[in-house]
Structure 1
């Protein structure tokens, strides 16, 4: 159903949504949309429109715009896009087709948000990313579950490198067109003298100057994005590429407790990979304390950065005596961290629980519409 229109590769594509939390499902939709055309314009709904049609957002419009703009596959971000996709708005930005996942999205009245553009032949379907949504993430916070965590990667990293996950790593490491090789994906194993290359980049990392920053990057948010943007600017001035180390689930849970991280290492890694400010690649299972021995595995690391967030004592002790370590000062989203976002949800627990119920009610309507659509439209 909904075959790819002839000549779509020469067209500007439209995609829209709430984009509440910058999770990899959103990025996956933008990637597929960008792969279809020459440019991608991303419409972001207002807080008021989302509240009316879906329920309260966790992230503000400014925060959601920052997240969408940071996705390397988005060409331009459009604020206050209508919740029901309007062909006139698409025409205003010269977008010939709208792309959406293979599910149904309804408005407050239970009507298909894309029916108008479907009727006009402007609608193109891509595969929806399974097992992740803002609703899922809010549910993890409310229910305090840990079943999404990966176990000790030092003992069994193959659970992380399944065929499906490897395909996703390859797709998310592509360049801004989504069609060609881009950044690299590496795995750190403490007992191994070299990093394990999972996805090769489009450059020789041994010949590049590198800057390094590490962290959990849980619920990938504007605080993370802003620090990576600053690091990227510094790297450009130094003629270097940005490499990001990502800690495993066990390490984060050890230091933060409860059910942290809310996103597992696979989900967090894809969020970092899709960011336009990360052009060198990512290191899975990066050590909590970056040592000279670890940094030598990467190559020519000329700077190690850390943001304005608090860190445990002694984490950077082994490199603070050199000129390599640099702390980054305050920035406009420096008040934001994962706990800050989780507290937003917990402080408004009743409202988000109601949102979860509303999602359940709407999903039944959406299933009916999906079934009807499948009967009405002949398969290609």
Structure 2
């Protein structure tokens, strides 16, 4: 019913949404939309529009805009996009088609938010990313569940499961593509006790032996503006040094050891896709050690700098890459990044937002359930209409 139109590859594409939490489902939609056309404009709904049609959002508009801007497949983020997609707004930005997942989104009245553009033949369907949504993540916070965590990735059977389970390898490969979504881009490694294993190869370069790298590691849970701003600063420094940015991502057991409770809220597969989609990243290392050593960094290649954000960390963690003596000599390869506009933000900060408004978000979850039932009816009607054509 919504076939991909001829010549769409030469068009500017529109996609819109709440983009509450920068999870890999949002990135997957932007990736597929970007693959269809030459540019991607992303409409981001206002806090007020989301509240009226869906319930309260966790992340503020400026925070959600920061996340969309950081996605490498987004050409431009548009704030205050209407909740019900308006072809006039699309025309204003020169977008011929709107892309959305193969599910139905409804407004406060239970009506399809894309019905107008569907009727105009401007609607194109892509596959919705399964098993992840803002609703799922809020649910994990409210229920304090841990069954989404991966077991010890230092065991061969477990890291192989992470890489090869279901369509995981295909997802790693797709999220590692360049800004067009069509060509190889970022590199993906998994760190094992024996070696650094290449999972997804980067785009080919002629001088790979002389490539310089900078490194930063962390949990990157609920990938948020604090993470994004740190990666932007690292990317900025890497460009000045003529280097590429490699991000080490700690496994679920390590994050849980230091954070406790049911952290991480996102498992390592989900967190790694969030980092991979970021335009400031050239590669990732799954199961990165909590304490980076020169031996480990040597596995990556010529790492010239190791960074850490302005958040507090045990000083001994980076002893292996810290220099000796005083002044500049004491820094060695290691450098702490300066404070930034989102340095107050952390995973715990976001979870606190949800838990402090628990009653409101429980009601939001119920409302989402009611909307889901309405959306199932509309989807069934749409399938029947398609069969009759």
TM-score, normalised via structure 2 length: 0.95
SS at match of 1:111: coil
State the partner residue of 2:268.
Answer: 265
Q: Deviations over 1:242-277 (max 9, x none)?
A: 000000000000111100000000000000000000
SS at match of 1:50: helix
Q: Which residue matches 2:29?
A: 29
RMSD: 1.1
Secondary structure, aligned partner of 1:14 = strand
Instruction: Name the SS for the 1:186 alignment partner.
Output: strand
1:318 offset after TM fit, Å?
1.6
Correspondence for 1:232 among 221, 231, 235: 235
**1:129-154 residue CA offsets vs partner (Å, 9 max, x unmatched):** 00000000000000000000000111
Q: 1:333 aligns with which of 333, 336, 342?
A: 342
Gaps of 5+ in 2: 324-330
Q: Report the alpha carbon displacement of residue 313 of structure 1 after superposing the two structures with TM.
A: 3.8
Aligned to 1:104: 104
CA displacement 1:299-330 (0-9 Å, x = unmatched):
10000000100112410012111521100010
2:199 is paired with a residue whose SS is strand
1:92 and 2:92 aligned: yes
SS at match of 1:282: strand
Counterpart pick for 1:370 among 359, 376, 379: 379
Deviations 1:111-137 (CA, angstroms, capped at 9, x unpaired): 000000000000000000000000000
**In 1, Cα distance between the equivalents of 2:71 and 2:188?**
17
Map residues 1-380 of structure 1 onto 2, 5 A cutoff: 1-155=1-155, 156-162=158-164, 163-190=166-193, 192=194, 194-204=195-205, 205-279=208-282, 281-321=283-323, 323-378=332-387
Structure-2 separation of matches of 1:347 and 1:94: 42
Q: CA deviation at 1:364?
A: 0.3
Q: By how many angstroms is 1:379 displaced?
A: 8.9
**Paired residues, what number?**
377
Match of 2:328 in 1: none
Distance in 2, Cα, partners of 1:20 & 1:274: 16
Q: For 1:220 and 1:186, locate their aligned partners in 2 and report how far apart those are by CA, in whole Å.
A: 20
Mark the CA change 1:282 to 1:379 in structure 2 (over 3 Å): closer, same or farther.
Answer: farther
In structure 1, list runs of 5 or more residues that go unmatched: none
Q: 2:335 and 2:209 mapped to 1: Cα distance?
A: 23
- Measured after TM superposition, the shift of residue 354 of structure 1 is 0.5
Question: Which secondary structure does the structure 1 equivalent of 2:163 belong to?
Answer: coil
Give runs of ≥4 in structure 1 deviating > 2 Å.
Answer: 203-207
**d(CA) in 1 for partners of 2:169 and 2:34?**
20
Question: Cα distance 1:320–1:83, how it changes in 2: closer, same or farther (>3 A)?
Answer: same
CA-to-aligned-CA distance 1:129-188 (integer Å, 9 cap, x gap)? 000000000000000000000001111211101250000000000000000000100010
Q: 1:291 to 1:357 in 2, by over 3 A?
A: same
- Residues in 1 aligned to 2:347 and 2:92: alpha-carbon distance in whole angstroms: 37
In 1: Cα distance, 2:97 partner to 2:210 partner: 42
Q: Deviations over 1:222-258 (max 9, x none)?
A: 0000000000000000000000000000000011110
Once the two structures are TM-superposed, the CA of residue 102 in structure 1 deviates from its matched residue by 0.2
